Amino acid sequence: MLRIRQVQLDALSQAEMDRFVGQLVVRIGHEFPEKFEELGEGRVREFVRRGVDDGQKFRIRLEGALATFVVLRWQYGEQFELSPDRLWARDVLEHPQLPDAVKISLIADRFESRVRGRTIVKEIPRGVS
């Protein structure tokens, strides 16, 4: 019988997380090239990792929902402070029964309808130094 130890599972999970973070860094680089260049890959990677960690605290686990959460934070600030709907978004994120994909879809739809497709990245996202 094959026995996989917790350390091995953790290593597999970390490798998957590193892959996912790397994909998000590339996505941000493609979607926001000027800000990406200004900050550099290392700082963007730190931002993405914080976003992934924070998303998991809100029980956002699906990769697509988590990726959208990180990109929304990039566009609207780590606490959504660039959005007039930041308090509403916080309430949605903290809702104990909404599925993660529904939370992110609600927030993305509302934010995108408010800005009508304009990009809001004007300043360095909070927490990125």
DSSP secondary structure code for residue 4 in this structure: -
82 vs 95: CA distance, rounded Å = 21
Between the alpha carbon of residue 40 and those of residues 72, 84, 128, the distances in Å are 19, 28, 11
Q: What is the pLDDT of residues 53-112, one digit of tens each?
A: 999 899 888 889 999 999 999 988 888 867 888 899 999 999 999 999 999 999 999 988
Domain ranges of the chain: 9-115
Between 128 and 40, where is the model more confident?
A: 40
Structure tokens at 5: 């130890």
40 vs 111: CA distance, rounded Å = 26
CA-angle at 28, arms to 26 and 34, nearest 5°: 110
Q: What is the pLDDT of residues 20-65, one digit of tens each?
A: 999 999 999 999 999 999 999 999 999 999 999 999 899 888 889 9
61 vs 2: CA distance, rounded Å = 28
